[in-house]
Structure 1
Amino acid sequence: MDNIMGLLKVRVKRGINLVVRDVMSSDPYVTVSMGNQKLKTCVIKKNCNPEWNEELTLSVTDPSLPVKLTVYDKDIFTKDDQMGDAEIDIRPYLECLEMGLENLPTPTTIRRFYPSKDNCLADESAVVWQNGKITQELIVRLRNVETGEVELQLYWIDLRDSK
């Protein structure tokens, strides 16, 4: 436990235009993993635009490891079908935390990120100082699938100084 830098709170908000994997719809859930940690949301029945609004917490020991997001369709009698995946590099977000910007007016946009071939962003993303914390809102485009996006929010809890 001594090598944990902090906790990354990942709020999985919603899925957007997810693929159909069953006859008429899908029963999607999301797994969020980093290193050997793997967490998952609840299953939303028969919905290709689900709203999870669930917060999952990862312990971060190595910020160079990506956060991996995978969407699955829950099946009862067969293996769950994959509905796409994405990776999030948290290092740019953590760089904003290191700036020591706690005395800014709220809300203040600290940095913006744009979709590129090097990330899974579907739209512009901003790191924002608001109400005493730095968060990042993002929409990721799922890979290895015809269509689908997932909206997320990141929030960091630093454990390095709390000993």
Structure 2
Amino acid sequence: MECLLGLLKVKVVRGLNLAICDPLSHSSDPYVVIHLGQQKVKSSIKYKTINPEWNEELTLSITNMMLPVKIDVFDHDTFTKDDSMGDAEFCILDFVEVAKKDLNGLPDGTVMKTLHPDKDNCLAAESHIKWKDGKVTQDIFLKLRNTETGELVLHLEWVSIPGITH
């Protein structure tokens, strides 16, 4: 059995300028699927929008911080296979390494690490891993791949498991 490091709360905040998959209504019916290893969690469907507001929290168990978090955005279709609206992925290694440190006593809002967009990640903007309200958090803007347009806004929060030390 793999060792549980902690839980990663992924708040799917919103999508921006997603692809139009339903040309008649000039919109889409998007939802998000997040994969980490064998785990798969899914958001609700937001109907008739290319700028959906989810504000939904999905939780992943972290046992291997080397695995990337993979995200797929789909357009829900009633009678046919759902259309892909793009995908993205991000690495949680830096996030988990910061979360494993003893940060108690640090000033609220301390930036622990800054990540920059580059060819190896899907970041659309600079992202900061912060110590905020007694938690390790990160806001991420992801540029979707394999599509012409679209970004996702996520908020990450680490949940330590009492009794587990690393």
**Shorter chain as normaliser: what TM range?**
over 0.9
Distance in 2 (CA, whole Å) between partners of 1:99 and 1:8 is 16
Structure 2 runs not aligned, ≥5 long: none
Residue range with higher mean Cα deviation, 75-84 or 58-67:
58-67
- Aligned AA for 1:146? E
Counterpart residue type for residue 101 of structure 1: L
What are the residue-to-residue correspondences of 1:4-23 with 2, within 5 Å?
4-23=4-23
Shift, 1:128, TM fit: 1.0
- Give the conservation status (yes or no) of the 8 Å contact 1:29–1:42: yes
Q: Report % sequence identity.
A: 50
Q: 1:138 aligned to 137, 140, 162, which one?
A: 140
Cα distance, 1:145 vs structure 2: 0.5
Distance (Å, rounded) in 2 between the aligned partners of 1:105 and 1:60:
26
Offset, 1:102: 1.9
Q: How many residues align?
A: 163
Q: CA deviation at 1:162?
A: 4.3
Q: Do 1:16 and 1:50's aligned partners in 2 also have CA atoms closer than 8 Å?
A: yes
Deviation at 1:161, TM superposition (A): 2.7
Greater CA drift, 32-41 or 101-110: 101-110
Which residue number in structure 1 is paired with residue 122 of structure 2?
120
User: Which residue number corresponds to residue 161 of structure 1?
Assistant: 163
Query: Which segments of structure 1 move beyond 6 Å, counting only runs of 4 or more?
Result: none
Assess if the C-alpha contact under 8 Å between 1:6 and 1:160 holds in 2.
Answer: no
Give the alignment's Cα RMSD to 1 decimal: 1.5
Q: TM-score, normalised by structure 2?
A: 0.93
TM (norm. structure 1) is 0.95
Deviations 1:77-119 (A, max 9, x none): 0000000000110001112223322211112111111100011
